[in-house]
Amino acid sequence: MERNENAFENAMEQLKEAIKHMDISENAIKILSSPEEVLEVNIPLKMDDGKLKVFRGFRVHYNTSRGPAKGGIRFHAGVTLDEVKALSFWMTIKNAVVNIPFGGGKGGVIVDPKEISQNELKKLSERYVDAIFEFIGPDKDIPAPDVNTNETIMGWMSEEYNKLAGKFSPATFTGKPIALGGSKGRDISTSLGASYIIDEYMKNHNLAPEKTAVAIQGFGNVGYNLAKILYESGYKVVALSDSKSGIYDEVGLNPEEIMKEKIESGGSIRNIGGRGKKITNEELLELDVDILVPAALENVITKDNARKIKAKVVVEVANGSTTIDADKILESKGKEIIPDVLANAGGVTVSYFEWIQNRTGEYWEADEVFEKLEKIMRTEFKNVNETKLEKNVSYRTAAYIIALERIAKAIDARGI
Ligand code: NAD
């Protein structure tokens, strides 16, 4: 595997790049160069056919100087410890970028959920909680959904935690169903947050949605909802894709219609007939559009395809979508990247609201959630933009500078 395909090494390069432009204590750098705690677990599971299968799971607390660890749980065949470490580092930065009182954590299980039954998925989710039970809790580490996990799974996990704890502890998991203490608006929060960031960028550059073509890679929770919000705001959403295939139409696509047809044709964009042109995920990234949104997995823009990226701006809704080499290539070509730690921070922000609601027992209407989310996203975009202009750095480095200053202050104040 080449260097930059390792997400953790990529994350550490991003850290090194940011600290070149700032004054940060040596202690803080040392502490932030590796995770605080790493838990690796075996998850034995009796499958539907009666045979035992052992799954491998991880949970990482990267840094908890600013508060309990917070970050999602990923179910994917390609999960590795390095990936989880990278994701937990990015969560540490992200939570500081939006200034919410959490450190960073992340979890993952090596599994392809499409290969197991619903019953096995539920048992796996519960056994994973059994394995990490001591490691999580409302004041310690608060997991949430990520790739291939959703509110149903959070509901199962939360219930398993409650059983083991012997009490109702809704603030341990966020992204739960509303019936179990989930927050109104959490389902679309990552996408809505990204749309506020895109809106700020557009205003800064005097751009109009009607004249802006957008391509989105990944048609899951975040990609689909963002496509829908942008379409409804007047943007031309010209390309969409899932893991199997992409679809392109220069006139524009209605994401809701595409989702409907995807479901009706067996669950894949590949099978949709009679409209647009089928493209691969690689081709989608290289389309001549104004905004490119990676909303699937990490390491999709690398040194191999960065020169072919034509979009003026890349909005990283997926975590870690651009490698450090690709970052440099895009920058040298005058492309801008709105980094994951800012662009997709809406999800964790509303998770924070969910945690507050669970702890106070006072529940908010969706309007209140969105109003608070909008304020945070727009304020932090402005902060990042100011630092970008002041220090003449990229959006990513500016976001890291702001986050690292906040984290370092907490590390130093603790007197380590
Ligand atoms: P999801 O599982 O709902 O959707 C993932 C989508 O990516 C699916 O459409 C899938 O078909 C597609 N995909 C998978 N492999 C692909 C490949 N190789 N090429 C192209 N597409 C592929 O996941 P999600 O919750 O929408 O998360 C997407 C990204 O957003 C991830 O990077 C995640 O870490 C990040 N993110 C999610 C949240 C959240 O609230 N869910 C918050 C912050 C960041």
pLDDT confidence of residue 2? 39
Nearest CA residue ID for atom 29, ligand 1 = 318
Q: What residue spans of 211-345 are helical by DSSP H?
A: 221-232, 255-264, 281-285, 324-332, 340-343
From the candidates 106, 176, 262, 335, give the one annotated as an active-site residue. Answer: 106
Q: How far is the CA of 319 from the centre of ligand 1 (A)?
A: 9
pLDDT confidence of residue 1? 35
Q: What CATH code is carried by the domain that includes residue 80?
A: 3.40.50.10860
Measured CA to CA in angstroms, residue 50 lies from 43, 119, 120, 129, 203 at distances of 15, 13, 11, 22, 58
Q: Please indicate, yes or no, if residue 203 is contained in any of the structural domains.
A: no
Q: Please indicate, yes or no, if residue 206 is contained in any of the structural domains.
A: no
**Which residues, judged by CB distance below 6 Å to any ligand atom, belong to the binding site of ligand 1?**
145-148, 190, 217-223, 241-243, 281, 295-297, 317-319, 344, 347
pLDDT confidence of residue 275? 83
Q: Which residues of 66-92 are buried (b: 16+ CB within 10 A; e: fewer)?
A: bbbbbbbbbbbeebbbbbbbbbbbbbb
Q: Please indicate, yes or no, if residue 159 is contained in any of the structural domains.
A: yes
Q: Please indicate, yes or no, if residue 76 is contained in any of the structural domains.
A: yes
Which residue among 243, 314, 316 has the greatest number of ligand 1 atoms within 8 angstroms of its CB, and so is best to mutate?
A: 243
Q: Please indicate, yes or no, if residue 127 is contained in any of the structural domains.
A: yes
Domain that holds residue 49: 37-170
Q: Cβ–Cβ contacts within 10 Å for residue 380, how many?
A: 24
Whether residue 106 lies in the annotated active site: yes
Number of domains in the chain: 1
Please give the helix or strand (H or E) that residue 389 lies within, else none: helix 366-391
Query: How does DSSP assign 226-238, residue by residue?
Result: HHHHHHHTT-EEE
Q: Which residues of 10-36 are buried (b: 16+ CB within 10 A; e: fewer)?
A: bbbbbbebbbebbebeeebeebbeebb
Which residue among 87, 176, 222, 278 has the greatest number of ligand 1 atoms within 8 angstroms of its CB, and so is best to mutate?
A: 222
Return averaged pLDDT per consecutive 10 residues of the chain, 416 residues in all: 67 93 92 97 98 98 98 97 97 98 98 97 98 98 95 98 98 97 96 98 97 97 97 98 96 97 92 89 98 94 97 96 94 97 98 98 98 98 98 96 96 89
